[in-house]
Structures are given as C-alpha cells and as structure tokens.
C-alpha cells in the first residue's frame, strides 16, 4: 500500500496566495490519488488551525519541528510502507503522471529542465530516509532520478506568480 502525503502547509509568500487552494488545490490532487486507487491520503496542513481547510486525514506540523526537513523526518517515522509525496503546487500533475509515480517503485522525478523534484518523491516501503543536512533534497539523495519523458512537464513546481 502506498500512502500519499500532500504537502499543504507552506506560507506561499513568493506566490502571493495560498498555493494549496490554487488551480483546484489539494482537493484536485486528492481526487487524482483516489482515482489512481490510493486508499490512504494524508494532508500535512501546517498550523493546526488549517486542518478544517482540507478533507480527509490531516496532520498539523508538530511544534517540535522547525523546518520542512524536520517535518518530513517526523512523517516518515509515523508511516509504514511506501510513501508518495505530492506538493500542493503540483498544478500540472495529471492522472497519468500520478499513476506513473505511484507505480514507479521508487525515485525522484525530474522536471522538463532535468531538475530533481524531491517533493514528488516516491519512497518504497523498504527504503529508509537519509539523514538530513538541513536540505530536503538530502533526505532523498540516494533515490534514483526518474526521467518521465513527455510527462516531465507535469513535475514542475510553482513559486512565483510568473512561473
């Protein structure tokens, strides 16, 4: 079983609005996961007051964590089995891209520019998260890179309104 973890707790400062609500938001990504047969979907919502913004199982960030790396380490301690991360700004992700990620057996997809996207990592059940050097990418550095060909455009993330 793969657990999808939707990352929706960011402040979206550079974007100027809450990315978790843009372009169908987290709900669109939840529906994609459900359509692909995912049974467990957890939304990491950030602060506890954001929990009511999202359907299904939501987890607020623990007060003991001060960075996304620490939050991800905490999450991986709590979930058994394979984990598929999906960032809330995966605006271009479609059914075929989601299905590929869920079935890939593990890895970090690359976007159309060849840049690894660790917030879309598929982490197999037998794999252990790396020690962090403070960067999210270090947690997934030993997972293989996934070249998705034409689907690579679906692996883009968005950080500013111009993206």
The pLDDT tens digits for 92-129 are: 999 999 999 999 999 999 999 999 999 999 999 999 99
Please tell me the predicted confidence (pLDDT) of residue 123: 97
Mind listing the domains of the chain with CATH numbers? 2-155 (3.90.550.10)
User: Token pair for residue 14?
Assistant: 């550079």
- What phi and psi, each to the nearest 5 degrees, are found at residue 122? -105, 120
Residue 12 — very low, low, confident or very high, per pLDDT cuts 50/70/90? low
Q: Is the pLDDT of residue 20 over 60?
A: no
- Are 139 and 69 a contacting pair, CB within 8 Å? yes
Residue 142 — very low, low, confident or very high, per pLDDT cuts 50/70/90? very high
The residue count for the chain: 163
Distance of CA 87 to the CA centre of its chain: 4
Mean pLDDT of the chain: 88
- Are 121 and 105 a contacting pair, CB within 8 Å? no
Please tell me the predicted confidence (pLDDT) of residue 46: 85
Please tell me the predicted confidence (pLDDT) of residue 40: 98
Percent of the residues in the chain that have a pLDDT greater than 90, as a whole number: 69
Please tell me the predicted confidence (pLDDT) of residue 24: 53
Q: How far apart are CA 108 and CA 73, in angstroms?
A: 17
Q: How far apart are CA 115 and CA 135, in angstroms?
A: 15
- Could you report the per-residue pLDDT of 45-100, keeping only the tens digit for each? 888 998 998 999 999 999 999 999 999 999 999 999 999 999 988 889 999 999 99
């Amino acid at each position: 079983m793969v657990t999808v973890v939707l990352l929706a707790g960011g402040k979206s400062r550079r974007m100027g609005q809450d990315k978790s609500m843009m372009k169908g938001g987290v709900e669109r990504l939840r529906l994609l996961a459900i359509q692909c047969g995912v049974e467990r979907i957890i939304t990491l919502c950030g602060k506890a007051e954001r929990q009511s913004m999202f359907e299904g199982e939501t987890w607020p960030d623990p007060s003991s964590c001060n960075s996304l790396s620490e939050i991800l380490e905490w999450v991986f301690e709590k979930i058994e089995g394979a984990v598929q991360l999906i960032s809330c700004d995966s605006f271009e992700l479609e059914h075929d891209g989601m299905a590929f990620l869920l079935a890939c057996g593990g890895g970090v997809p690359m976007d159309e520019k060849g840049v690894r996207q660790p917030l879309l990592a598929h982490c197999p059940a037998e794999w252990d998260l790396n020690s962090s050097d403070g960067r999210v990418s270090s947690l997934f550095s030993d997972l293989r890179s996934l070249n998705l060909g034409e689907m690579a455009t679906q692996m883009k993330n968005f950080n500013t309104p111009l993206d």
